[in-house]
Amino acid sequence: MGAKLAVAVAFLLVSIPILAQVQPAAGPSKHHLVDWSVGGGMDYWSGDWEKGDINRWGPTAWVTATMWHCLGLNIEGHSMIWGGNTDQYKLFQGSGGLMCTMGYWGRLQPIFKGELGYASLSQPGNGTGQFHSNYATWAVGGGLEYHIKGHWWARADYTYDALMDFHSSVTGQNHSLNPRGIAFGATYRFGTQGTRF
């Protein structure tokens, strides 16, 4: 009799919570494992070369997976390929790392990021006889996303990049090269979290 009673109590303890609805039928879910977003736009970056007055345009794209509170992983690519005062300076950079998408200020959400990556740089001669090299990079930055409508958000952010071990023809030493600039474009956030307003 005691064993049957124990089995019945165990069955009730397990089955009662299962009968409850896990998430509301309407509204954003707080139980997503990953909230995905993708976006793209344009860069306007300044190249760190000689006087640092090389300002060039290029396309940019990003993918973000927010996983825990504000923290997630971000992968993005930047480029400097159009305009400016020299056609010899071209940069393609891809990086990934942590991103924090902070709480809401009305329709605005601040974003902060820290990333590691890889860059391909073509530049005027730097005293080594090489006009193209590849570099390991690190980057930090931040900006804002603004909710437009539905799943669509506008993004503007600033990134400070560091290309490690660049040889300077001015000093004759290796140091970091620091291209930096702004990116702006549109983000599409998947799921109900992307349509908060």
pLDDT in tens, 90-149: 889 999 999 998 887 888 999 999 999 999 988 776 556 667 788 899 999 999 999 999
Structural domains of the chain, ranges and CATH numbers in brackets: 34-195 (2.40.160.20)
The distance from CA 84 to its chain's CA centroid, rounded to whole angstroms, is 25
The distance from CA 86 to its chain's CA centroid, rounded to whole angstroms, is 28
Report pLDDT for 137: 92
pLDDT in tens, 144-189: 999 999 999 999 999 999 888 776 666 666 777 788 999 999 999 9
Residue 15 has pLDDT above 70, yes or no: no
What are the φ and ψ backbone dihedral angles of 7, each rounded to 5 degrees?
-65, -40
- Cite the DSSP H helix spans in the chain: 2-19
The distance from CA 147 to its chain's CA centroid, rounded to whole angstroms, is 17
- Which token pair is 25? 């039928």
Report pLDDT for 183: 96
Higher pLDDT, 106 or 14: 106
Task: Please state, as a whole number, how many other Cβ atoms lie within 10 Å of the Cβ of residue 22.
Answer: 8
pTM above 0.85, yes or no: no
Confidence class of residue 13 from pLDDT cuts 50, 70 and 90?
Answer: very low
Three-state secondary structure call for residue 11: helix
Q: How far apart are CA 116 and CA 151, in angstroms?
A: 28
The distance from CA 68 to its chain's CA centroid, rounded to whole angstroms, is 15
Report pLDDT for 73: 95
% of the chain residues with pLDDT over 70: 71
Q: How many helical (H) and strand (E) elements, i.e. helices and strands, does the chain have?
A: 1, 9
Q: How far apart are CA 66 and CA 77, in angstroms?
A: 18
